[in-house]
Amino acid sequence: MAPRADAPDTGTTKDKDAYSMTAWITLLAILGLLAVLATGRVAPALAFISLAGAFVLTGLVEPASMLDNFTNPALATLALLLLVSLALERSHFLDKIAERLLSGNEGFARFKLIGTTAILSAFLNNTAVVGAFLGAISKQKRIAPSRLLIPLSYASILGGVTTLIGTSTNLVVSSFAVNAGLPELTMFQFTLVGVPVAVLGLAVLWWQARHLPENEPENRGEAMAYFLAAEVQPDSPLVGRSIEANGLRKLEGLYLLEIERLGRLITAVGPDEVLAAGDLLIFTGEVDKVQALQRFPGLDLFGHRADDLLATNLVEVVISNESELANRTLQEVDFRSMFNAGVVGIRRGSERIQGQLGRVPLRAGDCLLLATGADFLQHRNIDRNFHLLSGSFQRPRLGTVQSTFALGGFLAVIASATVGWLTLFEGLLVLLGALLVTRILTVGELRRRFPFELVVIIGSALTLAEGLEQSDGAALIANFMQATFSGHGVFAAFVGAYLLTVVLTETVTNNAAAALAFPVAYATAQGFGVDPMPFIMAVAFGASACFLVPFGYQTHLMVYSTGRYRMGNYLRTGLPLTVVYSAAVIILIPLVFPF
């Protein structure tokens, strides 16, 4: 990354050996960050800000420079775009579109679904698009949701790579380009490469979806299986009686899998097993069969007496990527007080969750079955934490006039930015003000949904990139890339930068991958003395090439448990897509953006 104009010239104060040591330590710190992110045990925002803070405290980066990184124009534009998207995702137009997509046979329905998703995702937040279609797909009974949900998620990525605002990753890369002293990337700068790549990718996706698992529509019970934990209370009449005598072996739609007793797990529970106070009974069950437990007095399901379940509203939700519940247990967050709801079941893909569910760390993408209280709808943290799948609860939608105003205003912003009347930042700022004045959005909603973690990650990553430059770590990387690819030419180095980004995006998140790969790619371009734009585009498209595992992209997690997928489902669908996508990107970028 090019030195900032206001960055201190440390080159006059350190000798070559000191620079080399500092550079190596900086690179090792970045590798340590990557290892921490790969474990998934530390939130990316915490990991990035901690290392950025260390760079400042050690004098590698000036405090003023770090603050400047958090006011990067492209980063501010990204924050505005995500806030404006809050209004667009509440538009009832998306619901109407979703209702029309699933007509016809499965192949035609899938064609309409992935095509429409790609087009919408080129301009709208792909999380909002997937969230709008997720509920419609999971509720309909004609086509197995597992045949549609991975294509839905992948299509949203393919559509997103076609424009600057189609995915946050492109705006992240733009923020790095600005920080490097390059012009901001324009709205359709990605399009000449993105559209052919998207078309080829959608064709492969449509074909590969034939191999996805199929749950017959009439067998919805199996598709909605949950793992339920019910604790036997001391005063329960079940205590001291066997499983057979208590009638727990013949439950319609529920099956007793195991018992946890005093820290010991009893599996393959026999009919003669006698229940004791404090036993935790683990059932697998169906959403609409959970209330079969209500006839057993003295059973507690996460704070709800089983015999009270008939008086509650059962709602099925998916934990969102923005949720504060990720990597925390139900006991830690005091779930019932936070949402006035009890969790009566957890589902994670096709994985069987064993033991006491209240102590299991939750993940983004987990499905929860909630028994909600009367004021569940009034809790203001619902949208940030959950995507609704079923139940009587419906998120408030904008009216026709409000939806038209929000969507029309957004299209006007895109048009004005394209022709140069206003910058994207200026247009989004005006639109956000208009949405607040008309009360389509409120200040409270902006406060609750502000993309704080994303801003922290990107601002910190810009600081890390500056630290790489100041320590000569970027120069070391450039020398390494030159030495590795000097006998093969700049094209080989370009391919190497792209593949590095793909590996990172499958290992960590897409935005973190872009943040870590950009300094490497930019330093490599500088080392070869060529136009950096092909390398910048390699990072942008490489960071979006997360098709192999469900954990690198938020929409993959949204559909993971709903489709009851396994890791192999993503790999089998995504591997041919990754090959075709990558080949198209590697061929087209140098043609559109010559070295």
- How many C-beta neighbours within 10 Å does residue 34 have? 16
Domain ranges of the chain: 218-390
Q: Which two tokens stand for residue 205?
A: 């996706």
Distance CA(339)–CA(328), nearest Å, equals 15
Phi first, then psi, for residue 280 (nearest 5°) are -105, 115
Alpha helices in 317-399 (DSSP H): 330-333, 335-339, 382-385
Predicted pLDDT at 213: 84
pTM exceeds cut of 0.85 = no
- Residue 170 vs residues 1, 76, 519: alpha-carbon distances, Å: 17, 14, 15
Q: Which two tokens stand for residue 572?
A: 């089998």
Distance CA(530)–CA(366), nearest Å, equals 46
- Residue 138 vs residues 16, 312, 390, 391: alpha-carbon distances, Å: 61, 22, 8, 12
Predicted pLDDT at 18: 45
- Residue 456 vs residues 34, 69, 505, 516: alpha-carbon distances, Å: 16, 10, 18, 14
Predicted pLDDT at 337: 73
With a CB cutoff of 8 Å and minimum separation 6, the contacts of 371 are 301, 304, 309, 312, 313, 314, 341, 342, 343, 344
Predicted pLDDT at 380: 61
Predicted pLDDT at 377: 59
Predicted pLDDT at 379: 62
Alpha helices in 230-333 (DSSP H): 243-246, 330-333
Distance CA(171)–CA(163), nearest Å, equals 10
- The C-alpha angle with vertex 456 and arms to 453 and 457, in degrees rounded to 5, equals 85
Distance CA(146)–CA(181), nearest Å, equals 46
Distance CA(99)–CA(9), nearest Å, equals 60
Distance CA(240)–CA(4), nearest Å, equals 74
- Residue 500 vs residues 47, 48, 162: alpha-carbon distances, Å: 21, 19, 21
Distance CA(165)–CA(385), nearest Å, equals 24
Predicted pLDDT at 308: 46
Q: Which two tokens stand for residue 208?
A: 């590969």
Q: Which two tokens stand for residue 287?
A: 């959403």
With a CB cutoff of 8 Å and minimum separation 6, the contacts of 92 are 397, 398, 399, 400, 403
- Name the CATH code of domain 218-390 (choices 3.50.50.60, 3.30.70.1450, 1.10.10.10, 3.30.2270.10): 3.30.70.1450
Predicted pLDDT at 132: 77
Predicted pLDDT at 286: 63
Contact 190, 538 (CB under 8 A): no
Q: What is the DSSP letter of 327?
A: T
Q: Give the residue ranges of the chain where pLDDT is below 70.
A: 1-19, 40, 215-228, 250, 252-253, 284-291, 301-314, 344, 350-358, 371, 373-380, 388-396, 486, 552
